């Protein structure tokens, strides 16, 4: 199995004077291709050296995620709204807290 590429890649390869060999993914391939692409893009993000490279790879991760969610009836706006809801309810990761455990408290309920 080959790897999933963006829609215009075959066209861009042709414009460069080469001949791309590709096929349209069968619906049974899509889930695995998207999973593989997500891991590929995450690894590229982690290996990126500059801020601009990080941004480029983050954009690729975002594109893969939005395509994965489309299968379940969601669009990018839904993803952003859910992220905002979770940020409001539970916070972000800005303070970088590391939870190392939770202890039980022996407090008496207020009567």
Dist CA 18 CA 37 (whole Å): 23
CA 95 to chain CA centroid, Å, is 22
CB contact at 8 A, 37 and 4: yes
Average pLDDT over residues 80-93: 97
Nearest to 45 by CA among 62, 63, 57, 33: 57
The answer, yes or no, to whether residue 60 has pLDDT greater than 70, is yes
Tell me the pLDDT tens digit for each residue of 9-38: 999 999 999 999 999 999 999 999 999 999
**Model-level pTM?**
0.82
Dist CA 23 CA 4 (whole Å): 10
Burial class (CB in 10 A: 0-12, 13-18, 19+), 77: exposed
Dist CA 59 CA 56 (whole Å): 5
Confidence band for 93, pLDDT divided at 50, 70 and 90: very high
Confidence band for 90, pLDDT divided at 50, 70 and 90: very high
Confidence band for 106, pLDDT divided at 50, 70 and 90: confident
Confidence band for 97, pLDDT divided at 50, 70 and 90: very high
């Amino acid at each position: 199995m080959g790897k999933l590429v963006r829609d215009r890649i075959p066209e861009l390869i042709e414009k460069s004077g080469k001949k791309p060999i590709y096929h349209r993914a069968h619906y049974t391939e899509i889930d695995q291709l998207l999973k593989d692409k997500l891991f590929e893009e995450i690894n590229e993000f982690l290996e990126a050296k500059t801020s601009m490279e990080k941004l480029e790879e983050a954009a690729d991760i975002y594109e893969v995620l939005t395509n994965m969610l489309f299968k379940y009836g969601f669009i990018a706006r839904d993803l952003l709204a859910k992220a905002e809801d979770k940020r409001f309810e539970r916070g972000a990761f800005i303070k970088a807290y590391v939870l190392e455990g939770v202890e039980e408290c022996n407090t008496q309920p207020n009567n």
